[in-house]
Structure 1
Amino acid sequence: MRFHKSETSFFILIVFLGGVGIMLYRARTALDMLLPISVDSDVTALIRYVIEANSLAALFLIAALLCGIFLIYPLIRIQAQDHGKLQEMTQILSARSESLAQAALTDGLTGMQNRRYFDEALKEYLAQFGRINKPVGLMILDLDHFKSINDTYGHDVGDAVLRAVARCLKDYTRYHDVVARLGGEEFAVVAPNMDKDLLAKLADRIRKAISELNITIEDAQLKVTTSIGVAVWDRRESWQEFYRRADKLLYNAKNLGRDRVCV
């Protein structure tokens, strides 16, 4: 059983009062021993007065102890329990708030970051890496002919494809890269401190890895490809302009035949 600080303080006070009681008892015993051998009437009267005062103090002490144990302590205990319940409720609400905040920034299907998180992260990355004069790369990916997968095999299969692509993206990116599902079959990767050549090579490795995914549908193997637009921030454009430029390169890749990277 754990005690609240106020309860512990109360018990310490009770111990001190008990100590005072013991001292009063010992003083009373000593005075009782002196009384029979006293020959001076004034001294005897003083001893009797002190004994009576000692007895009265002992009565007050006993009353204080009883009042504390049976009246004050129950109130302290109730307040401590209420405080504990309030603290527990606060922790539960705090954890729930964090969970809801995380859920608001996470894509429920793939477990990746969502569009809301991506927008904020892209702005922050441009601001921070712009200060230290380092490049920021952006890849926008869109799965080719994904609608036909949903139409042919159903949305459950389409969801399985999206989760497989999400795992592939996580495997091929670094821990500090931002990997997000923007919506539908569109994904994005923010890759700081990578120039155009490195980013193009990474994008092509991702494209090949996605094309090599084996997604089993009953007895058939489903294949999927992706088109990727790749851009490196020019340090002048806003995050919205940067995103639109990468998105435009994605559509160039689509128009050039899909399953390719356009830089």
Structure 2
Amino acid sequence: MRFHKAELFFFLLMILVVAGGVFSLAAFSAATGGHVVGGIETSADFALMGAVLAGLSVVCGLLLVYPTMSSSLRERGKLQQMTESLSVRSLNLEHAAVTDSLTGMYNRRYFDDALSEYLEAFGHIDKPIGMVILDLDHFKKVNDTHGHDVGDKVLREVAECLQVFTRYHDVLARLGGEEFAILSPNITERQLYNLSDRIRQAVSELRIVNGNVTLKVTVSAGLAIWDRTESGEELYRRADKQLYEAKRQGRNRVCAA
């Protein structure tokens, strides 16, 4: 077993202290006529040796033990700072892994994981779960006509609009491109429809200003309520099918399964 340098210096210091104590005890015994023989001279010699060992203990403590301990504490502090920095960086990376960088919303990865957890959790307590899939209408035309920077601005403003209408336990995500999704537990089909239609109307009232041009956008939505037997993928397909039905019927509308 290998000892750290600080441990070795500590053992040396303890040996010196113990030896100094032994000589001090011997000097006291000699001076008081104890079992140690030699009289006053022997007592003086023992006292001198005790003083020398005490001095060596102080020197060892100041020149060896203290610098080593101080260095170790500084190194530990640096390691702690590095660990804390890495922890923060890890949390940031973890957050980035489940967040859409453009809108600040959750991404598809987080949405899929949340969907699986919600189905399991709310299935146990027999509560409904609703899903809404939303897609901006004619968004490709916005990018082609005004550029992707303007398209990104539109997506950010639509994302902010969606966040206004969702509850704290709803999961709101950007699935990719101009497609968004809401996972809303403990909600009826009528409530989910009304929520989706309020969002649709709010988006249609947005005015995105780009220089001298003011853009208006609309959104189509499809929704479905979990039937408590289907998988998350099957629920998503039903909601997505209703989204395409809303598109087919002329866009800027909500369709329910």
Q: TM-score category by the smaller chain?
A: 0.7 to 0.9
Which of structure 1's runs of 4+ aligned residues deviate more than 4 A? 42-45
Q: Which amino acid aligns with 1:143?
A: L
TM-score w.r.t. length of structure 1: 0.83
Rounded to whole Å, the distance in 2 between the matches of 1:220 and 1:109 is 22
Say if 2:84 is the partner of 1:94. Answer: no
Counterparts of residues 57-68 of structure 1 (less than 5 Å): 57-68=50-61
One-letter code aligned to 2:119:
L
The answer to whether residue 101 in structure 2 is matched with residue 108 in structure 1 is yes
TM-score of the two chains, using structure 2 as the length reference: 0.85
Tell me by how many angstroms 1:48 deviates: 4.0
Task: Quote the offset at 1:240 in angstroms.
Answer: 0.7
Q: Which segments of 5 or more consecutive residues in structure 2 lack a partner in the other structure?
A: 1-5
1:190 partner SS:
strand
**In 2 relative to 1, CA 61–43 (structure 1 residues): closer, same or farther, beyond 3 Å?**
closer
Matches within 5 A, 1:18-37: none
**Counterpart amino acid of 2:94?**
A
Question: Which residue number corresponds to residue 257 of structure 1?
Answer: 250
Structure 2 distance, partners of 1:153, 1:183, is: 20
Q: Which residue of 2 aligns with 1:121?
A: 114
| Distance in 2 between residues matched to 1:69 and 1:82, nearest whole Å | 19
Shift of 1:219: 2.3
Do structure 1's residue 69 and structure 2's residue 59 form an aligned pair?
no
User: Could you list the per-position Cα deviations for residues 96-139 of structure 1 after superposition, in whole angstroms to 9, with x for gaps in the alignment?
Assistant: 11111110110000000001111001111111111111111100
Q: How many residues align?
A: 239
Give me the whole-angstrom Cα distance separating, in 1, the residues matched to 2:38 and 2:64. Answer: 38
1:181 aligns with 2:160: no
Q: Deviations over 1:137-189 (max 9, x none)?
A: 10000000000001111111100100000000101101111000000000000
SS at match of 1:139: strand
Work out the percentage of aligned pairs sharing the same amino acid: 54
Give 1:44 deviation, angstroms: 10
Superposed displacement of residue 46, structure 1: 3.5
How many Å separate the matches in 2 of 1:73 and 1:229? 71
Aligned mates of 1:216, 1:92 — CA distance in 2: 41
Counterparts in 2 of 1:43 and 1:154: CA distance versus 1, 3 Å: closer
Tell me the distance in 2 between the aligned counterparts of 1:82 and 1:157.
51
Moved more, 242-251 or 72-81: 72-81
SS in 1 for 2:174: strand
Match of 1:213 in 2: 206
Measured against aligned partners, the alpha-carbon deviations of 1:209-247 in whole angstroms (never above 9, x if no partner) come to 000011112223211000000111000001111111111
Q: Which residue of 2 aligns with 1:204?
A: 197
The offset of 1:55, in angstroms, is 1.9
Q: Which residue of 1 aligns with 2:128?
A: 135
The RMSD of aligned alpha carbons is 2.7
Equivalences for residues 207-246 of structure 1 within 5 A: 207-246=200-239
